[in-house]
């Protein structure tokens, strides 16, 4: 799944979104502060979650609980086989690039890209 690319697949994409939106929204200081701040918050949140795991300070998400030794071993294995930065685990051999390519949802990606293009091209013009 997506955790082969990064261990934070839901919140880390806010980083490129925030950076791109801060520029595309007009490039004014207010946009950079708002969307750049959201991007910074996303990275800081991911880093804080990793730090909590490394210090064994508490549960992470809904899957791992802090009380179970078995869950600690599973979580440690998960951290060893994944990376914070996207694709680093695949580049250094902890994940298989072939498996990532085979698991890539090509149909969903193409459909989502088309829907995004359609919304941008035909629907957003009515908002301006």
As a whole number of angstroms, the distance between CA 76 and CA 86 comes to 18
Q: CB of 31 within 8 A of CB of 22?
A: yes
SS3 102: helix
Report the mean per-residue pLDDT for the chain: 85
Q: CB of 2 within 8 A of CB of 9?
A: yes
pLDDT for the residue 47 = 92
Name the pLDDT band for 122 (thresholds 50, 70, 90): confident
Q: How does DSSP classify residue 1?
A: -
Task: Find all residues with CB under 8 Å of 17, minimum gap 6, and list them.
Answer: 35, 39
Q: Give the CB-side neighbour count of residue 23, counting CA atoms within 13 A.
A: 5
Query: What confidence tens digit (pLDDT) does each residue in 45-101 have?
Result: 999 888 888 887 766 654 555 555 566 777 888 888 999 999 999 999 999 999 988
């Amino acid at each position: 799944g997506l955790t082969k690319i990064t261990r934070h697949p839901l919140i880390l994409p806010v980083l490129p979104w925030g950076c791109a939106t801060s520029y595309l929204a007009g490039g004014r200081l207010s946009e950079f502060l708002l969307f750049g701040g959201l991007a910074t918050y996303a990275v800081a949140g991911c880093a804080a979650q990793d730090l909590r795991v490394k210090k064994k300070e508490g549960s992470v998400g809904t899957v791992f609980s802090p009380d179970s030794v078995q869950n600690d071993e599973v979580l440690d294995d998960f951290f060893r086989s994944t990376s914070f930065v996207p694709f680093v685990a695949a580049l250094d051999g902890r994940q298989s690039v072939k498996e990532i390519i085979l698991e890539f949802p090509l149909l969903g990606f193409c459909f989502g890209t088309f829907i995004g293009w359609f919304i941008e091209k035909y629907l957003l013009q009515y908002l301006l």
